[in-house]
Amino acid sequence: MQRHSLFTAMSLGLFAGAASTTALAEMSPLEQQLKDLEEFQVIAHRGASGHAPESTMAAFEMAHEWNVDYLELDAQLSSDGEVVVFHDDTIDRTSDGEGAINDYTLEELKALDTGTWFNEANPDSASDDFAGAQMLTLDELFEHFGHDARYYIETKSPQLNPGLEEALVEKLEEHDMIENGRVLVQSFEQDSLLKVQELNDDVPLIQLVWYYPSEEDNSKLVEWTDVTPGPSEITDEDFQAVADYAVGIGTNYIYDGRQVIDADFISQAQENGLPVHVYTINETEEMERLMDMGANGLFTNYPDRLLELVD
């Protein structure tokens, strides 16, 4: 998207040296993807999940038709090792089944209805087309959109999905997603990202962080996995430690009504080479506020609202 931040581009070093037209023309698709991160990114969170059942083909198709920059999705494993696209650890909320997703084979997961719950919860957006939606495999998503889309894939709950990184990287390589600049891999777990990097060090990685008040001292914010200190204590060195393996950072903005990051956090991350993508922003006013604060992209269930705001 064209909401270009010159400051960000400069702080990322993207204009360093003689960036001639010839050099740009010779850029590989993967280099082009990294360069595109200097522009504002519209990231469809679980597809256009405000309008269609999350993580279903309908939600991804809607977002893709709107020409978003990335389709965001969560990857997990079925009990027989297939990579499936699903957010929760259990199937209860968004299907007609119950229990842990990892207890079911792909065949069993495919028999579930992952669309009717949405119609019941959102009568104004309900559609007969959503009823009976099947859980997607990553293969199906890749086969459907191919290299026409970019995918922002989270290794969800790595402890509950042992072997996920290996299975994911295998799929990325099989579908030629990495060298074609089609994928970012995101995780809250640094170990999971490092595992992906060990398997294929070309995969661009995004470190997710989640800030919330410390139980001991409510005035102090802490990060869920301790990957960084809280925003008020974070140093350039902390950001540099993330920049050693990741190309960006994905953060929450609000915890329980309390703002956890600000424009200083965003610019400090950028100055250390890390564009900042903020999740999950659904209200137009909040989108505008974060764009004014210099965020490099937003995860949203309503990409249509965000697209209205970008050039």
Residue 268 touches which member of Ca ion, ligand G3P, none, C-beta under 5-8 Å by kind: none
Strand 221-223 with 297-300, pairing: unpaired
φ/ψ region of 110 (left if φ > 0, alpha if ψ in -120 to 50, else beta) reads: alpha
Which of 9/193 has CB closer to ligand G3P?
193
Q: Is 154 in the site for ligand G3P (CB under 6 A)?
A: yes
Q: Can you tell me whether residue 113 is helix, strand or coil?
A: coil
Which candidate in 4, 51, 64, 87 is catalytic? 87
Concerning whether 51 is annotated as a catalytic residue, the answer is no
Concerning whether 87 is annotated as a catalytic residue, the answer is yes
Q: How far apart are CA 188 and CA 209, in angstroms?
A: 6
DSSP structure string for 73-110: EEEEE-TTS-EEE--SSBSTTTSS--SBGGGS-HHHHH
How many Cβ atoms sit within 10 Å of the Cβ of residue 65?
Answer: 9
Among the listed residues 279, 281, 294, 296, the single contact to ligand G3P using CB under 6 A: 279
Instruction: List Cβ neighbours of 75 (8 Å cut-off, separation of 6 or more).
Output: 83, 84, 85, 138, 153, 154, 155, 156, 161, 164, 168
Which of 250/294 has CB closer to ligand G3P?
250
Q: Considering the complex, what minimum distance in angstroms separates the CB of residue 210 from ligand G3P?
A: 8
- Could you tell me if 199 and 169 are in contact, meaning their C-beta atoms sit under 8 angstroms apart? yes
Q: Considering the complex, what minimum distance in angstroms separates the CB of residue 235 from ligand G3P?
A: 24
Q: Which residue is nearest to ligand G3P (CB)?
A: 279
Binding mask 23-52 for ligand G3P (x = CB under 6 A): ----------------------x-------
Among the listed residues 39, 74, 82, 223, the single contact to ligand G3P using CB under 6 A: 74
Q: Can you tell me whether residue 183 is helix, strand or coil?
A: strand
Q: Considering the complex, what minimum distance in angstroms separates the CB of residue 25 from Ca ion?
A: 35
Q: Which of residues 187-246 bind ligand G3P (CB under 6 A)?
A: 208
Catalytic residues: 45, 87
